[in-house]
Structure formats: C-alpha cells, structure tokens
Amino acid sequence: MTCRIVTTIVGIIASVSVIQLLATSATSTNIQADERVFVVGDVHRPGEYTYEEGLTVGDVITKAGGFRHEGAHRLSVHRTVDGKVTKNPAISETLVKPGDTVTAMMTD
C-alpha cells in the first residue's frame, strides 16, 4: 500500500506519495537534508521542520500544530538508509533522525 498525501495549495489540489516526497526533498536546497525532518498526514501544518538533537515523533507532531482530528492515530517513520526507504511503526517517544518523514494517519 502506498501512502498518498492530498492537500490543497492555493486552491490547487496536490497529491503525492510519501516516496515522491522523500525523493523531492532529497534534491531541495533550502535546508540540507541532515538538518530537517518532515511530517505528513493528519496534522495541521504538514511540511518540513528543522531537526534538533533528541527530537521525537511527538515533538515533530507538536511542531506541525498537532493532530487535525481527535482519536487514534497510526504513526510511522519513513527513513532512507543506503538509498532504500524503510517504513517503521512509531510511538510519540520514538526518536527521529535527520531526513526522516513522520506520518500520522487516522486509524479506522
């Protein structure tokens, strides 16, 4: 299953997969990949945030304004290691690494 992110940007609906987001972020020059983390899914402000030592999944979600909807969420961390993207289940206390993408999805 491919996780897709759908959002509205200035009246235009954009839909990208997490894999596409990771590939695009690797070529961005605004902030070096080793200085940022990303958050996507059911949060108020998905996007990129500056990485800080000791940052957790819960910290990243807080930076993104918290969850948009109340209820249970499935959290995961997408991490690129040796050019391969892995998806790992996470909890709020899970430490993130530079370049990680945190995904917060509502559970059914």
Please tell me whether the overall predicted TM-score, pTM, comes out greater than 0.75 for this model.
Answer: no
**What does the domain layout of the chain look like in residue ranges?**
4-106
Residue 36 has pLDDT above 50, yes or no: yes
The whole-number pLDDT of residue 97 equals 96
Tell the CATH topology of 4-106.
Outer membrane lipoprotein wza fold like (3.10.560)
Q: What is the pLDDT of residues 42-53, one digit of tens each?
A: 999 999 999 999
Structure tokens at 1: 């299953």
Burial zone of 98 (CB within 10 Å; 0-12 exposed, 13-18 middle, 19+ buried): middle
Query: In angstroms, rounded to a whole number, what is the distance separating the alpha carbons of residues 106 and 108?
Result: 7
